[in-house]
A and B are shown apart, each in its own frame.
Chain A
Amino acid sequence: MKPSICLYFQVHQPDRLRQYRFFDIGKDSHYFDDFSNRTILRRVAEKCYLPMNAIMLENIQKFGKSFKIAYSISGSAIEQFEKYAPEVLDSFKALAATGCVEFLAETYTHSLASLVSKDEFKKQVELHSKTIEKHFGKKPKCFRNTELIYSDEIGEMVYKLGFKGILTEGAKHILGWKSPNYVYSNANNPKMKVLLRNFTLSDDIAFRFSDKGWNEWPMDCDKFASWVQDQASKDEIINLFMDYETFGEHQSAASGIFDFMRALPQTLLEKTDLEFVTPSEAIKKHEAVSPINVPFSISWADEERDTSAWLGNELQNEAFSKLYDLSDRVLALQDDKITKDYMKLQESDHFYYMCTKFFSDGAVHTYFNPYDTPYEAFINYMNVLSDLIIRIERKLRLG
């Protein structure tokens, strides 16, 4: 059996909040900064989504069924495509039509619901699957949680929703001596297969590609292919999971990242003995070598690879608990507008902006952050949430 390589990209754009003042509470229920959301989406579309989709399509056409990739696109991103850049959505549909692209399931608004509420989580996953099926014609079979957040419990919960495979981080502290380059199974349910991200090889592209201080710089396709071959000769599967915004945003076009990605499939096909698979194919092709124990939640974020980027300080915990206190009432109300706003306020990004880990990973945090300080992010978010609470209470009182 040939070893496999699995390429997967995460596509997400948050709904950034406008500056929402105390005086707006109870009066103005428009929460989002439409201008900056549109501007940013248009920019990322031009610099990343459109050129990168074109390169992927070109490669699929060139190599037919031998080149395959997977995406997960959040519902928030899809809605923004529809509103501000429909051509991006069309280009994803064109990719879907080739049959070489798998679309994965996740929570509709890229939320942290898996950590707190089964009902809320289930609702969002089902809504997302429906949306993906509507746009791309196929119901998702594999799951990847927001920021690859995973634990034994989450894996089991996802299996019960009908998924046979889940993606997560190949975090050192859960693997120990084990290799991420095998398929594992959930510790509570052996039928649920787990794919682990090879963070060394993934980050060679996502973080280090243009880093001139890196001793391997510049990295070309041959060099990268030799590393992949090196690891694959002993193991079974190499999982390269990345943010799609890596291409053209974090790594600028000037760094040569597009040329690298354009040439990479051919190099891998010619110079290594790996074959491309999608996550669904991977779990069919490979048997799980052993269960993997993850009692506490892990993610792909920061040095810690845990959930502390979103729930690591008192501000985040407070906002989070106030948000999910509302869950039952929103579910009971069945009000479309309220439900929609409630889901958008669950986007993990809002909590990311309140992160106070300024050091090692602070650079990544500040790059995407519309606020000057985590405190401003908290105040603004709580003002918005206070208005939503008022709307819910008023509606409940009306019966």
Chain B
Amino acid sequence: MRVLMFGWEFPPHIAGGLGTACYGIVKGLANNGVETLFVMPSASGDEDQTYTRILNASDVEVSDVVKNPKEFLERVQFLRVGTNMVPYMDPAKFTEMSSKDQRSQIDDFKVNFKQKYKFSGKYGTNLMEEISRYAMVGGEIASQHKDEFDVIHAHDWLTYMAGIAAKRISGKPLVIHVHATEFDRTGENVNTQVFAIEQMGMREADKVITVSNLTRNIVVNKYGINPDKVVTVHNAVDFAGREQMVVERSVDEKVVTFLGRITFQKGPEYFIEAANKVLKKCPDVRFVMAGSGDLLNRSIRQVARLGISDRFHFTGFLRGADVQKMFAYSDVYVMPSVSEPFGISPLEAMITGVPTIISKQSGVAEVLKYSIKVDFWDVDALADAMYGLLRYPALSQMAAEKGYDEVNALKWDHAAAKMKHIYESTLK
């Protein structure tokens, strides 16, 4: 089995969790005997290629499709940027204009695409242009390497267009992998352009993989996708080679930690409210909110208003080793997310031996037994759970020990085996 895989980033240069997950997936697939050819917009050359071949889209010269651009363009019509919606125009004029537009697009295509395009591979302002061009290159790669893969696998909306282009050119089945949806990122203020790309990817795909049942429900209900083709494969983690960090604690009190982006999605206000309730019962606890985000300032004001700022600390954005240091500093880790497709960070806490509390509205809640689960809005339940883990050693010890074993059992090899089945089902 050979897979043409489209990603956006790959370790060591990662901005979010997607790159780490992709690495785990290709490694797990390799252990299951599945070969992958991993395409990314901008590779640096220092990526670990033990488990996959990396293809840098910035190095690909678009030549095959240029031989017959008209045919190519017909197949990937969806890629046309721009609109023909012009007001106050009679039909004759409109036809004239749109055919002219089409001719110029072919010319433009010949000129622009018979060359390499240097992708930034970041999440910048010309993201929409980058993903369109990435799709062009995706089509080219599918054509050049036609005989080297059986299935196409695309990760998250940035790569869906590339996946679709590859499918249209090669005729091979497409699997798309939903790590997060626009609803998770923005609540209800969905960017319609992103939504449209996501929905198109889901509709074109032969199978859709979601990272949790929570996400699967969103895909089925909000994007209107046939449930029969949507399958959940929970994420795993790979903590191999990670050394336990020993830190010297300098505060006597127990520390309860929130670590992540301080945004609506992560539910920081519920953490603060619960902290306030706990501090009323036992003042000898410290709370830490680590991270940065658009709700940081509001959170600081909330803490000041409650008058608990001598017990509630902010660290700002933490980098590299400081993240591990923060986990090692903690006695309880809390993730009160309002909506979380999966959520890797509680697993990092657990591998450090820290008991966790997670919201029922997170995908990771579906795979964890030894984590206390509460509704994100139920501040009383959250405060109860914090108090219990702080005050009853039997509880926190069990959560720490069993939690550690539980996380170690989450293997990418298992997840990859499920993916292999899904690939096979598309070839039948």
User: Chain A interface (Cβ within 8 Å of chain B)?
Assistant: 21-27, 314-315, 317-319, 321-322, 373, 375-376, 378-379, 382-383, 385-386, 389-390
Contacts and interface: CB of A to CB of B under 8 A. Distances in A.
B297 A386 contact: no
Interface of B: 248, 250-252, 288, 290, 296-297, 300-301, 303-305, 307, 309-310, 313-316, 322, 325, 329
B310 A25 contact: no
A376 B297 CA distance: 9
Contacts of B300: 315, 375, 378-379
A321 B74 CA distance: 70
Contacts of B313: 22, 25, 379, 382-383, 386
Contacts of B309: 318-319, 322, 378, 382
B297 A373 contact: yes
Given A26-B251, A27-B250, A315 B310 contact: no
Contacts of A26: 250-252
Nearest to B251: A26
A379 B314 contact: yes
Give the one of B248, B288, B315 with max A CB within 10 A. Answer: B315
Nearest to A382: B309
B103 to A, nearest CB: 53
Contacts of A382: 309-310, 313
B315 A315 contact: no
User: From DSSP, what is the main secondary structure of chain A's interface residues?
Assistant: helix
A390 B252 CA distance: 9
A264 to B, nearest CB: 46
A278 to B, nearest CB: 43
A318 B314 contact: no
B288 A315 contact: no
A314 B251 contact: no
B310 A386 contact: yes
Nearest to B311: A386
12 contacts: A27-B248, A318-B303, A318-B307, A319-B309, A321-B307, A322-B307, A322-B309, A373-B297, A376-B316, A378-B300, A379-B316, A383-B313
Given A315-B300, A319-B309, A378-B304, 13 more contacts: A23-B250, A23-B322, A24-B250, A25-B313, A27-B250, A318-B305, A318-B309, A322-B309, A378-B309, A379-B313, A386-B310, A386-B313, A389-B310
Contacts of B315: 21-23
A143 to B, nearest CB: 32
B296 A23 contact: no
B304 A315 contact: yes
B318 to A, nearest CB: 9
A273 to B, nearest CB: 54
A155 B329 CA distance: 50
A175 B310 CA distance: 41
Contacts of A390: 251-252
A385 B304 contact: no
A379 B288 CA distance: 12
Contacts of B322: 23
B253 to A, nearest CB: 9
A355 to B, nearest CB: 14
Contacts of B307: 318, 321-322
A342 to B, nearest CB: 14
A379 B309 CA distance: 9
A378 B307 CA distance: 13
Nearest to B312: A382
A167 B108 CA distance: 76
What 6 pairs across the A-B complex have the smallest Cβ distances? A26-B250, A27-B250, A318-B304, A26-B251, A22-B315, A314-B304
Contacts of A322: 307, 309-310
B63 to A, nearest CB: 50
B229 to A, nearest CB: 47
Contacts of B296: 375
